[in-house]
Amino acid sequence: MSMERTVTQAERVSGGLWEGIKAVLARIGFSPLGVVAFIIIALLPLVPPFNQEHIMRWLVMGAFLGAQAVAFDFTAGYINVVNFGFAAILGVGAYTSAVLSNTLPILIVQPGLPPWLTIWIGALAAGLIGFLLGMLTLRLRGIFAAVMAWFVGIALMGLATNMPKLTRGSLGFAPPPLLNTTNNLPYYYVALGMLLLTYICLRLVTNSHMGLAFRAIGQNIDAARASGINPTRYRVINFTLSCVFAGLLGGFYAHYIGSLTPRTVMHTSKTVEVLALAYIGGRGSMWGGAAVAFPFVFFIEYLRSNLSQLPGLHMVIYGVLLIIVMIFYPGGAAQLYSTIARRIQRRAKGG
């Protein structure tokens, strides 16, 4: 009898531990399967086909794009505002960090601050721009905000091009590298860390009561206002946070790639790339964009290297996928995953 009881107790304890771990993971937005997937992605560059330098570069870009999609989806999927100046705000972070780490503009000290510090300053600068833009536009309805963000984005790009003293304009700016290595592997872990940081931070926010307010505003702004939520305040908070992470990622990009021009970082087409990724991944899921980013980057780079006589084919595929997802399957990859998971669960229970 007593033996049996202890066994059940142990079972309950281990079950409780498992449940506890699951609860903690759920709070930061991971399912057990998600953790496994993340670990697999993290270990990928150590396994033979992926440990070549050019493939590791693709992995870094995958993590970078995925993190952007997470930050983008935080506004688009939750408060239903499409930040059409996303790439430009990312560029603000990139340029701030690049300029400060090259020379301090006031003291003219060379070299400037270490890149590890300046990417955070860049993030704050981007957040400030996001805050101002949010204060300005987010009292307006969705489409006004999107177009206004687009205009501001184009203006920021124009400024970056027209301040050659600071940014060297379209000649290109060469910020110092983040790490003292030419290998891609350390950069990959930095990028992956940023992806994780972005995801967990933003997920903690959306899992709090604030996330509930975001969703309420995104679904029906008038109903949200009627139930005592101040839409402007929450939208500005959301927008600013998203921009902070955009700026951080921009800083990483600047010091990873080592060359910046306004067109390659801040152009509208860059925003559209991230937008397409976030929506194909599944709006409002946050992880969808990040999960889709890796296979996508591989697919795109494969097309680019093997079908170089067809330039831009991957972009056409991007666009077609975005259209198809928007019309027929608005939940994107995240919905596909949850549908399949539910079906498997039901079958397991039934069988």
Partner 1 sequence: MEATRVQPSFLERVMLNMRARPAAWIVIAMTLGFLVIIGIFAGPSQLINTIVTGGMWALMAVGLALVFGVMNIPHFAHGDSFMIGAYVAYFVFTPIQAYLRDNPNPFLSAVGPLIGWIAAALVGFVAGAVMEKLVFYPLRMRTRRGWVMNTFLLTVGISFVLVYGANLILGPNFRGVPNYWNVPPIVIGSVRLTMERIAAFVVAIVAIVAFWIFLSNTRTGRAIRAVAQDEMGAEMVGINLNFIYTLTFALATAMAALAGASLLFMFPAYPTVGLKPLYFAWYVVMLVGLGNVQGAIVGGFIVAVLQTLTQQFFGVSYEDVVPVVVMILVLLLVPNGIFGSEVKGIQEQ
Residue by residue, what is the 3-state secondary structure of 185-230?
A: HHHHHHHHHHHHHHHHHHHHHHHCHHHHHHHHHHHCHHHHHHCCCC
> Per CB under 8 A, does 135 bind partner 1?
no
Decide if 45 contacts 188 (C-beta within 8 A).
yes
- Pick from 130, 257, 93: nearest CA to 191: 257
User: Does position 80 bind partner 1 by CB under 8 A?
Assistant: yes
User: Of 146, 246, 248, 266, which one interacts with partner 1 (CB under 8 A)?
Assistant: 146
Give Cα 197 to chain centroid, integer Å. 10
Among 28, 148, 166, 205, binds partner 1 (CB under 8 A): 148
Check binding of 220 to partner 1 (CB under 8 A).
yes
Nearest residue to 333 via CA among 263, 279, 296: 279
Q: Does 315 bind partner 1 (CB under 8 A)?
A: yes
149 contacts partner 1 (rule: CB under 8 A): no
By CB under 8 A, is residue 310 in contact with partner 1? yes
- Distant-in-sequence, close-in-space partners of 145: CB < 8 Å, separation ≥ 6: 81, 82, 137, 138
Strand pairing partners for 173?
260
Instruction: Choose the stretch contacting partner 1; rule: CB under 8 A; options: 177-185, 206-214, 248-256, 325-333.
Output: 325-333
| Binding of partner 1 by 322 (CB under 8 A) | yes
Asked whether position 312 contacts partner 1 by CB under 8 A, the answer is yes
Q: Considering the complex, state which of residue 254 and residue 280 has its C-beta at the smaller distance from partner 1.
A: 280
In angstroms, the CA 195 to CA 183 distance is: 19
Q: How far is CA 41 from CA 37, 58, 185, 314, in A?
A: 6, 12, 13, 23
Q: How far is the CB of 124 from partner 1 (least distance, A)?
A: 22
H/E stretch holding 38: helix 32-43
Task: Select from 44, 70, 71, 82 the one that contacts partner 1 (CB under 8 A).
Answer: 82
Q: Looking at 64-72, 137-145, 200-208, 288-296, which segment touches partner 1 (CB under 8 A)?
A: 137-145
Around Cβ 131, how many Cβ atoms within 10 Å? Answer: 17
Shortest distance (Å) from residue 87 CB to partner 1? 13
Cis? peptide before 111, omega within 30° of 0: yes
Q: Which of 18, 144, 299, 302 binds partner 1 (CB under 8 A)?
A: 144
3-class state of residue 340 by DSSP: helix
Q: CB of residue 332 vs partner 1: minimum separation in angstroms? A: 12
Among 13, 155, 197, 340, binds partner 1 (CB under 8 A): 155
CB 266 within 8 A of CB 88: yes
- Residue in the block written with tokens 């701030």: 96
- E strand residue ranges, 84-184: none
| Dist CA 303 CA 242 (whole Å) | 31
Residue that has been written with the tokens 């780079």 in this structure: 301
Residue 336 in the binding site for partner 1 (CB under 8 A):
no
Q: 228 to 267, contacts with partner 1 by CB under 8 A?
A: none
Q: Does 111 help bind partner 1 (rule: CB under 8 A)?
A: no
8 touching partner 1, by CB under 8 A: no
Q: Least distance from C-beta 272 to partner 1, angstroms?
A: 6
Other Cβ atoms within 10 Å of 25 Cβ, number? 14
Among the residue ranges 18-26, 67-75, 92-100, 140-148, the one whose residues contact partner 1 (CB under 8 A) = 140-148
Among 13, 35, 40, 320, indicate the residue that binds partner 1 (CB under 8 A).
Answer: 320
Q: Decide: is 83 part of the binding site for partner 1 (CB under 8 A).
A: no
Site for partner 1 in 157-186 (CB under 8 A): 157-159, 161-162
The residues of the shown chain that bind partner 1, judged by CB under 8 A, are: 80, 82, 136-137, 140-144, 146-148, 150-152, 154-155, 157-159, 161-162, 218-221, 268-269, 272, 275-276, 279, 310-313, 315-316, 318-320, 322-323, 326-328, 330
